[in-house]
Chain A
Amino acid sequence: MSPISPPRRRFLRLLAWCSGWTLLPRLARPDDDRLRQSLKELTGGVEPAFHPGVGLRMPSRAVSRLAVPVRVNCRLRHVDMIALLVRDHPDPLAARFNLSPRTRPYIRTHLRILKDSEVIAVVRADGRYFRQSAKISVSEGCS
């Protein structure tokens, strides 16, 4: 096995240093702590996996901050829970729907989002948790 050459080692060290500087302040945000706590309470500590079968549709720019339309339409089987979380909210869990087998895994609702943020849809299907997220800008246009 050949040792890592000094220029490559220096480059990797610089890369790690730069990524640490850019990522650490984001990880330390209190909003992320609240989101992490809400996700933990919702899933019982299980980290939801990203899944393309969780369809989350919403505008990238909101017309109104008080009623941002959000649609969740899942292509997964045996969905019994859909939750919507907003990253920068004081209480990130905006809505949670428990579904019976007679209800389709399809929900449309309106959320209040007061600043640019990210909406996360968490779905429980067959006892496993999946997620999908979308960013939204509310800083332009009408309030």
Chain B
Amino acid sequence: MIEYRSKRRSDDSVEVRLFFPTNETWTGKETWPERHLDHLSVHLHGVLILEAGFGPGIAPEPFFALRIDDTRPGDRLKIHWRTNQGQSGVLEIILP
């Protein structure tokens, strides 16, 4: 489950924020995690606009913000994500 927020800025770009909450409790004493977000891709109308790869240094509850140019209200953004243990998901956002 991804939480997201998208906002059209005054310069007509759109800022998209993604947050991947987990229901786990973190003490901060953990060493390196077995499970972490591994891959993220963002498609706008089927065209890849951002691809990201992560190591164990990413936060256990990852957060990202990106800004996209040349979009119109109603454009569809598709986000695919995958962890290093094979869990995956898709989110579709309609841009403001």
Query: What residues make up the interface of A, taking CB atoms closer than 8 Å to B?
Result: 64-69, 84, 86, 89-100, 102-104, 106-114, 142-143
Assess A91 versus B55: contact at CB under 8 Å? Given A67-B61, A100-B50.
yes
Contact present for A108 and B28 (CB under 8 Å)? no
Contact present for B28 and A65 (CB under 8 Å)? yes
Chain A binding surface, main DSSP class:
strand
Of all A-B residue pairs in the complex, the 4 with the closest CB atoms, nearest first, are: A143-B28, A94-B57, A110-B59, A108-B65
Contact present for A103 and B50 (CB under 8 Å)? yes
Contacts of A90 in B (CB 8 A): 32, 56
CA distance A30 to B63 in the complex (A): 30
Interface residues on B, range: 35 or more
Contact present for A112 and B59 (CB under 8 Å)? yes
Give the residues from 17 to 45 in chain B that come closer than 8 angstroms, CB to CB, to chain A: 17, 26-29, 31-33, 42, 44
Query: What residues make up the interface of B, taking CB atoms closer than 8 Å to A?
Result: 13, 17, 26-29, 31-33, 42, 44, 47-71
Contacts of A103 in B (CB 8 A): 42, 49-50, 66-69
Report the minimum CB–CB distance from A102 to chain B (whole Å).
5
Contact present for B53 and A102 (CB under 8 Å)? no
In-complex Cβ contact of B48 among A91, A100, A114 (8 A) = A100
A-B contact pairs, 28 of them (CB 8 A): A64-B28, A66-B61, A67-B60, A89-B55, A89-B56, A89-B57, A90-B32, A91-B57, A93-B55, A94-B58, A95-B54, A96-B52, A100-B50, A102-B44, A102-B68, A102-B69, A102-B71, A103-B69, A104-B67, A106-B66, A107-B65, A108-B17, A108-B64, A109-B59, A109-B63, A110-B62, A111-B57, A143-B29
Contact present for B13 and A66 (CB under 8 Å)? no
Can you name 9 extra interface pairs (CB under 8 A) apart from A67-B63, A89-B57, A113-B57? A66-B26, A84-B57, A91-B55, A97-B52, A103-B67, A104-B68, A107-B65, A109-B62, A143-B29
Contacts of A64 in B (CB 8 A): 28
CA distance A69 to B63 in the complex (A): 9
